[in-house]
């Protein structure tokens, strides 16, 4: 029987995607896991590589003072030393998805270190699609990241953004308190307006559908630039 795979006698190689990411409080990782399922359902081979700080960072940070300090330090794009990447990252991939949180309007410290240290070699002539997980303020992060990636010689056809869907000002207060180790969802006053930290199940499903869209586009050779990865759920 003739199938798509054996048409013309040439077996089709699966497309390969590297998911290169950092996640401090698990939000990026949750989105990526679902996105990876969507990619795999389209027959894409997925390799996941997490950036590992040399000195592991602990979530939650633990105190209000330490959280405030981290907010200030990260505003100045403090790098965080990371372990060497696995050799698998240097293999051929049709696409690299570079994913991580926004830290004080910038990419996170581990991602900045990877870009400084490995970017010019690892990302040169690669197609890189960033995925940003944030509370809601991602534009500076995106513009800065895009220009670093271009300087590394990468092609950046598009980007994905997921914001926490809680309303302001509760979202900002809630994220800060959560980072400081509190439980704002259960607090008497804030808990009425701030129901959950992070992304919703609907957003995880959306990440899965993005995975399917990307997988299908890679299989068909459709340019990724034509997609809109910002919609109502992702960016309220």
Ligand X SMILES: Cc1cc2nc3c(=O)[nH]c(=O)nc-3n(C[C@H](O)[C@H](O)[C@H](O)COP(=O)(O)O)c2cc1C
Residues lying near ligand X in the complex (CB under 6 A): 23-28, 70-71, 74, 101-105, 133-138, 175, 179, 198
Residue with tokens 């965080």: 80
Going by C-beta distance under 8 Å and a sequence separation of 6 or more, which residues neighbour residue 221? none
Given the complex with ligand X, which of 103 and 159 has the nearer CB atom? 103
- Which stretches within 64-169 are classed as H helix? 64-75, 109-117, 119-122, 139-151
Task: Return the number of the residue (70 or 149) whose C-beta is nearest ligand X.
Answer: 70
Kindly state the smallest distance separating residue 193's Cβ from ligand X, in Å: 17
* Residue among 144 and 153 whose Cβ is closer to ligand X: 144
Output the smallest distance, CB 46 to ligand X, in A: 18
Q: Residue 65 in 3-state DSSP? A: helix
**DSSP assigned state of 100:** E
Tokens of 89: 């990252």
Nearer to ligand X, 70 or 217 (CB): 70
Residue 153: CB minimum distance to ligand X, A: 26
Q: Shortest distance, CB of residue 1 to ligand X, whole angstroms?
A: 45
Identify which of 97, 90, 85 has the alpha carbon closest to the alpha carbon of residue 17. Answer: 97
């Amino acid at each position: 029987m003739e199938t798509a795979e054996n048409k013309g006698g040439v077996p089709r190689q699966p497309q390969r995607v590297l998911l290169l990411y950092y996640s401090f409080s698990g939000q990026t990782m949750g989105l990526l896991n679902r996105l990876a399922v969507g990619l795999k359902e389209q027959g894409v081979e997925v390799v996941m590589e997490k950036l590992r700080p040399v000195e592991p960072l602990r979530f939650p940070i633990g105190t209000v003072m330490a959280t405030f300090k981290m907010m200030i330090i990260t505003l100045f794009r403090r790098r965080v030393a990371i372990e060497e990447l696995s050799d698998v990252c240097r293999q051929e991939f049709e696409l690299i998805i570079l994913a991580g949180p926004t830290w004080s309007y910038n990419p996170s410290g581990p991602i900045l270190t990877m870009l400084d240290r490995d970017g010019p070699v690892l990302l040169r002539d690669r197609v890189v699609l960033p995925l940003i997980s944030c509370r809601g303020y991602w534009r500076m992060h995106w513009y800065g990241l895009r220009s670093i990636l271009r300087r590394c010689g990468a092609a950046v056809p598009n980007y994905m953004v997921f914001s926490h869907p809680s309303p302001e000002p509760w979202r900002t207060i809630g994220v800060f308190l959560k980072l400081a180790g509190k439980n704002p969802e259960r607090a008497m006053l804030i808990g009425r307006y701030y129901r959950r930290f992070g992304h919703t199940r609907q957003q995880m499903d959306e990440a899965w559908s993005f995975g399917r869209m990307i997988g299908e586009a890679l299989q068909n050779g459709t340019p990724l630039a034509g997609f809109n990865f910002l919609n109502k759920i992702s960016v309220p």
